[in-house]
Structure 1
Amino acid sequence: MPTSFLGSALRGTFFFLFGLWWSVRYPLKYLRRKAEAQPSNGVQRVEVFEGTVKAFFALAGILAEQFIPTGPHLQLYSPKSHSWTDLTHWHYTTIYLFFLISGIVDIVSQSSLRLPQGLDRLSLALALAIEGLLLCCHDYSDAALDQHLHALLAMAIFAGALCALLEVFIRDHIILETFRTSSFLLQGSWLWQIGFVLSSPWGGAGWDQTDHSNYTFLTMCFCWHYAGALAVLAANSAASRCCNESCQLKFGDIDVELDCGMCIRRGPRSSSGALLPESPSDDK
């Protein structure tokens, strides 16, 4: 599969940014969920935001794959040469199409249409499964190193697809969410690695496709990438926990009741809070 560094880097950035966002969001959601009986409206707004970003990047990817100077410009078959045109661009267009569908489902799931719960995770699982299928079934010809790199990438893709599929039935499970996040971080960083191996950003040819030591090194490097993804997860989870605890220390002694205009102050010597009416003319 002919791969440009810029295209691989842009796709990797999309997955890595989503992984970074989830590595902060899910630990915070897990900590907040312990204190809240029901999900707040803020959670729904975040889901809509994620779906909008996903759909925007997917649509931008489709337009970029089709309408770059060397793209097929929506032409799948050439009547002149009697052959398919630029199937690699069409492969990536198909991948972006299913992520676009996933983003739209994320948005609609939070609307008043009341779609079945889990449909958003199912659409994400399908998008990842389609991505892995197209990468695995592509004709790599004699580019054996290229095939090996994308086979390793497929492992991260199908791992994320499996997690998303399980989340259809097991909702809001922190372990599944964390594992899916790590698969996105791994996929994003590995796409950058593929760009460096197959097409150097500084020009020149990529790595030697016939050197078998490259296979051993890159397989080991794949494991290092996952170790790095776990390190990012651990660091962001720790930072999220510290942030959550600092907010509790700052605002933990006062709860504001917006519905009745009262505030509850909890003292260390009293087991029950005292209701203090708010006055428009507070002493200053």
Structure 2
Amino acid sequence: MPTSFLGSALRGTFFLIFGLWWSVRYPLKYLRRKVNVESQPSHGVHRVEFFEGAVKVFFALAGILVEQFIPAGPHLHLYSSKTHSWTDLTPWHFTTMYLFFLLSGIVDIILHTPLKLPLGLDRLSLSMALFIEGLLFCFHDDNDAALDHHLHSLLATAIFAGALSTLLEVFIRDHIILETFKTSSFLLQGSWLWQIGFVLSPPWGGPGWDQTDRSNITFLTMCFCWHYAVHLAILAANSAASRCCNESCQLTFGDIDVELDCGMCIRNGNKSSSRALLPETTLDDK
């Protein structure tokens, strides 16, 4: 499966966008759920998940159209009757991958409509899309190039890790550890797809890295671990920023309960909840 830098970078950007978004959204959701354990998902949360599904559908459709209808693309032709052979299968590999992410986005959207699909179907569809992606990358045509095969094997590791954590979310929903692990796998996929583009098809031109040099394999394995370390640092920084933002909002608004029926504001900060409001003393009472 020949790799172009632009195609690899665009696919990596898709995963980076979702990973960075989740690295902020999931910690905020966890902190707010921790404050009020009995709170149910608000209408705003449903709208966010609906929007995520729409973004997923947009990216997947754009990916399918680009893979099929670029000038060198197959234009939906899979088999050539003239040569009696398959046409270029590389775009079809990526089209298949995008197709399952498209289905995942559609499920995300339908789940928040009156059709009332079973809860967890969105996580299951995303896990299925990731498993299909990993399967396609495991059996791509690397022409016996050791470095190419090693790069995509490392990528498959990140993909299957995300697929497994997402599958567990079907049964253990809203678990911050699973959500964080899934987020880190998406970030790792995104940056590693960029790395693959730089190694195999450098944007400045040239043949790419030496496929026969074993030291390149050793270095890139270490580089894969460095990518993950950087993403863990990003997750920690975004979690800390989310906590500061959440605490700032609580200091500003969270200690005031507005009683609309009597027009009073009761501050709950450090005061005892059993303390009652006393009526003001007037001159007539003296």
Contact residue 12 and residue 189 of structure 1 kept, 8 A = yes
Q: CA deviation at 1:253?
A: 2.4
C-alpha separation in 2, matches of 1:115 and 1:273: 47
2:77 to 75, 78, 99: 75
Counterpart CA distance in 2 for 1:178 and 1:92 is 27
**Letter aligned with residue 35 of structure 2:** A
Provide the residue aligned with 2:110 in structure 1.
108
Match of 2:266 in 1: 265
Distance 2:186 2:235 in 1: 11
Q: CA deviation at 1:263?
A: 5.3
Letter in 2 for 1:101: L
- Within the candidate set 196, 206, 209, 1:207 is matched to 209
- 8 Å contact 1:128–1:157 — kept in the other structure? yes
| Alpha carbons of structure 1 residues 64 and 273: separation in structure 2 relative to 1, 3 Å | farther
Letter paired with 1:252: G
Q: Indicate if the aligned counterparts of 1:186 and 1:229 stay in contact, CA closer than 8 A.
A: yes
CA distance in 1, matches of 2:199, 2:233: 24
Q: Which 5+ residue runs of structure 1 have no aligned equivalent?
A: 276-284
State the match for 1:32 in structure 2: 32
Deviation at 1:274? Answer: 6.6
Greater C-alpha Rg: 2
**Equivalent-residue separation in structure 2 for 1:255 and 1:200 (angstroms):** 58
Tell me, in whole angstroms, the C-alpha distance in 2 between the residues paired with 1:186 and 1:27: 19
Name the CA distance, whole Å, in 1 between partners of 2:231 and 2:30: 20
Q: Structure 2: 5+ residue runs without aligned partners?
A: 278-286
Moved over 6 A (4+): none
- After TM superposition, the score normalised by the length of structure 2 is 0.92
Give the Cα–Cα distance (whole angstroms) in 1 for the partners of residues 172 and 130 of structure 2. Answer: 18
Structure 1 residues 33-70: Cα deviation after superposition (integer angstroms, max 9, x where no partner): 12332111111001001000011000000000000011
1:7 is aligned with what amino acid?
G
What is the count of residue pairs matched by the alignment? 275
The more displaced of 117-126 and 131-140 is: 131-140
**1:80-138: CA deviations, max 9, x gaps?**
11111110100000000000000000011111111101000000000000000011112
Distance 2:265 2:158 in 1: 49
Give the AA of the match of 2:68: Q
CA distance in 1 between counterparts of 2:88 and 2:102 reads: 21
Alignment-mate amino acid for residue 93 of structure 1:
T
CA RMSD across the alignment: 1.6
Task: Indicate the SS of the match to 2:144.
Answer: coil
